[in-house]
Amino acid sequence: MRSSCVLLTALVALAAYYIYIPLPSSVSDPWKLMLLDATFRSAQQVSNLIHNLGLSHHLLALNFIIVIFGKKSAWSSAQVKVTDTDFDGVEVRVFEGSPKPEEPLRRSVVYIHGGGWALASAKIRYYDELCTAMAEELNAVIVSIEYRLVPKVYFPAQIHDVMRATKYFLQPEVLHKYSVDPDRIGISGDSAGGNLAAALGQQFTQDANLKNKLKVQAFIYPVLQALDFNTPSYQQNVNAPVLPRHVMVKYWLDYLQGNCDFVQAMTVNNHTSLDVQEAVALRARLNWTSLLPASITKDYKPVVQTTGNARIVQEIPQLLDARAAPLIAEREVLRHLPKTYILTCEHDVLRDDGIMYAKRLESAGVQVTLDHFEDGFHGCMIFTSWPTNFSVGIRTRDSYIKWLDQNL
């Protein structure tokens, strides 16, 4: 009996040691966040083991775990009709809110899910619930795109998928089929989906047939650049739950089909050192000492290496491609973008990507709403139902939908 008690105590202590991570007191529901983070880390470790055994690519294994426990069929309710179909060969899930009698044509949002360009799905519970809420509360048509993921495809295939599906949807006959007002359409996405949505918006401004087709764009904690992994938010949240810095760097390398041996060099900005000529012209476009307010920069110092590893950018030139990193787009491209909403979270390595993009857009003459949550963490907006319901998840979702309701 005594040995059993000792063993149980040891197991509980080990579990507590594994789950516990130091978190700021200001973050929403800290113990629940620790459990969420521990669950995700466990799934990552299982997928890495599967990869090391040669059974499957670690991202395929990880996404299998995510989808198998979270997949939801297209289930309609009295308020929202949900259907799975494809737009020009790209799978989509369409959510149709009930039209208002006084408004025969509905507004619409094309939504792009997050997941590091490699994980999640439009068909998992988290995104199904988000898009259902959007469709119901906005009386709108939400098109959630099931784009292809790493490692089956790499940049820029994901952009091509969302572009193809969106262009198909914008055809007059398709809009008529779904009773959508062509003057009230927006694009949106979270995390890597926000990256793709931002790239899509910029691509639209450069296509005469698509220019001015979008009324708004809305980005939820978007990832927008890979040139500086030492912005104040990267330094502050280097080991933050859900998305620590080294994981974000790995997602970038996976997306751009780069060598994972570059992770350590990129975390200290060796890929954009002063001797890397290809990055010199772009550095001013994400100079956070001028783009971020003093309340954000605090006492953080820029990390700029004198000499680094020029081979990284030579082997992965996509790092400097604005389609991959929308924050570094030219001002001429930015000034044609529609009214914009950007949601950022304090406890997120990507916080400053969003804030800097808001500043660059404002400087280019775009009307921007920056919605910052002091207790937010990366990914929080999709965590709104038990057992992963966070107070900040509900507040961010409500704030986002409210903005869409007022501006779309």
pLDDT digits (tens, 9 = 90+) for 172-219: 999 999 999 999 999 999 999 999 999 999 999 998 887 788 999 999
Catalytically annotated residue among 28, 144, 191, 273: 191
Per-residue pLDDT band at 57 (split at 50, 70, 90): very high
For the stretch 259-313, pLDDT in tens is 999 999 999 999 999 999 888 889 889 999 999 999 999 999 999 999 999 999 9
Please state, for a pLDDT cut of 70, what percent of the chain lies above it.
96
Average pLDDT over residues 230-245: 97
Stronger pLDDT, 379 or 1, i.e. the higher one = 379
* pLDDT at residue 15 is higher than 90: no
Number of domains into which the chain is organized: 1
Average pLDDT over residues 162-172: 97
pLDDT at 125: 96
13 falls within a domain: no
pLDDT at 211: 78
* pLDDT at residue 13 is higher than 80: no
pTM: 0.95
Average pLDDT over residues 13-27: 68
pLDDT at 12: 37
* pLDDT at residue 239 is higher than 90: yes
304 falls within a domain: yes
- 233 as an active site residue: the answer is no
Determine the structural domain holding residue 175 and report its residue range: 75-407
pLDDT at 4: 55
pLDDT at 19: 72
pLDDT at 3: 58
For the stretch 328-373, pLDDT in tens is 999 999 999 999 999 999 999 999 999 999 999 999 999 999 999 9
Q: Determine the Cα–Cα distance for residues 309 and 398; give it in Å rounded to an integer.
A: 44
Per-residue pLDDT band at 9 (split at 50, 70, 90): very low
Sheet hosting strand 339-347, strand order edge to edge? 80-87, 90-97, 141-145, 106-112, 180-190, 216-220, 339-347, 368-377
pLDDT at 283: 85
ω into residue 387 within 30 of 0, thus cis?
A: yes
261 falls within a domain: yes
Catalytically annotated residue among 29, 37, 161, 348: 348
pLDDT at 2: 60
For the stretch 142-163, pLDDT in tens is 999 999 999 999 999 999 999 9
For the stretch 69-86, pLDDT in tens is 899 999 999 999 999 999
For the stretch 22-34, pLDDT in tens is 888 899 999 999 9
* pLDDT at residue 17 is higher than 50: no
User: The domain spanning residue 294 has which CATH number?
Assistant: 3.40.50.1820
Average pLDDT over residues 375-384: 97
182 falls within a domain: yes
Structure tokens at 181: 């007002």
30 falls within a domain: no
Please state, for a pLDDT cut of 90, what percent of the chain lies above it.
87
* pLDDT at residue 93 is higher than 60: yes
Closest by CA position to 347, among listed 379, 372, 375: 375
Mean residue pLDDT across the chain: 93
Contacts of 302 (CB under 8 A, 6+ apart): 228, 230, 288, 289
Per-residue pLDDT band at 16 (split at 50, 70, 90): low
- 348 as an active site residue: the answer is yes
287 falls within a domain: yes
107 falls within a domain: yes
121 falls within a domain: yes
- 273 as an active site residue: the answer is no
